[in-house]
Structure 1
Amino acid sequence: MASHIGKLPITIPSGDEITINGQEFTVKGPKGSDSYTIPEGITAKVEGDELIVSANDDLRPTRAKHGLARSIMASMVKGVHDGYTKSLDIVGTGYRAQMKGKGIEFSLGYSHTITVEPPEGIEFELPNPNQVIVKGTDKQVVGQVAANIRKLRAPEPYKGKGIKYSDERIRRKAGKAGK
């Protein structure tokens, strides 16, 4: 019995080029290229404009990785064609960001500024001093870089100050009760 997610075919957008050499999976698109080593017992093949991922049903550990491998390959195909973005908002008086070369310099209420350099394949965009957009082709790396930036000054529940995802809602707590 195979994975429900693993059985779903992956639609290949026009302009993307997929190469499967043994267990090495490579995809090239307009935004870049990415590669992945397919786990043993899982096979992938291109049929027309779809990528089919199948598993050897005899090996139980292989079946467990079937859906994961398919999801990773699907996110790679989407990433090299469309790319991934994470948007962060900076909330708080005096909290802001500014471009410093390819990196970003944050003023977050500490006695010093914090500079974040983008890893390879990631780029930053600042539409305004209170918003940071992280862009890249690898879904996992984009999410990790955004999480690392958010961790610099996580939003606090009393005033909501800090760095938060644009679609994140901060649950507020009641402050100290007055007389």
Structure 2
Amino acid sequence: MSRIGKKPVAVPKGVTATINGQTVVAKGPKGELTFDFTDLVTVKLGDTGVEVAPRDASKQARSAWGMTRTMVANLMTGVTQGFTKKLEISGVGYRAAVQGKVLQLSLGYSHEVNYPIPEGITIQTPRPIEILISGNDKQQVGQVAAEIREFRSPEPYKGKGVKYANEVIFRKEGKKK
């Protein structure tokens, strides 16, 4: 039994949730999001919110049960509050700046890295060594953060590179004489 899947997803005030066949649509103050769920689960609107249940007792249906409930909960959070990821840059001369719809990164290469900001995502740089990525789709926010981090992953000796704000970089000791 999925402990996560059993809980219904509450529909916040100002959000309308509809189910069209195999698609859940959530509309709220931050936009509209959709999720296509598998036919291994059933999704319906109940009195307490959106309820998810497996169609049968197979392992695949039970696996999809909790995942579907979490995806529907992410829709509700996305259209009301949105999601944010924070990246930190460490290294001498490493910095970031937003120029229009492009994020310019100086990461120690011979050239600047220009990352075009996708639709639905807002990127801010309150400080040159800090990047805030926000949007209403959790998957897209995480994907953009991963792509930016990939330009210069943190290295274990000096810790230089782009890292998540809550990420811990295990440091290695250098050569010994």
TM-score normalised by the chain length of structure 2:
0.94
2:125 alignment counterpart: 126
Number of equivalences: 177
TM-score normalised by the chain length of structure 1:
0.93
Query: Structure 2 counterpart of 1:11, which letter?
Result: A
- Identity level (%): 45
Deviations 1:101-153 (A, max 9, x none): 12210011100000111222111011011100110111111111101101100
**Corresponding residue SS for 1:6:** helix
Cα pair 2:157 2:173 within 8 Å, conserved: yes
Query: Structure 1 counterpart of 2:93, which letter?
Result: G
1:113 alignment counterpart: 112
Cα pair 2:40 2:61 within 8 Å, conserved: yes
Query: Structure 1 counterpart of 2:5, which letter?
Result: G
Deviations 1:51-95 (A, max 9, x none): 111121255533331111111111111111110000000101100
1:30 alignment counterpart: 29
Deviations 1:35-56 (A, max 9, x none): 1122114222222352111121
RMSD: 1.4
Whole-angstrom CA distance in 2 between matches of 1:21 and 1:109: 50
In the alignment, structure 1 segments of 5+ residues that lack a partner are none
Is 1:44 equivalent to 2:43 in the alignment? yes
**Corresponding residue SS for 1:11:** coil
Whole-angstrom CA distance in 2 between matches of 1:41 and 1:161: 45
Cα pair 1:136 1:142 within 8 Å, conserved: yes
Cα pair 1:55 1:63 within 8 Å, conserved: yes
Q: How far is the alpha carbon of 1:175 from its aligned partner?
A: 1.2
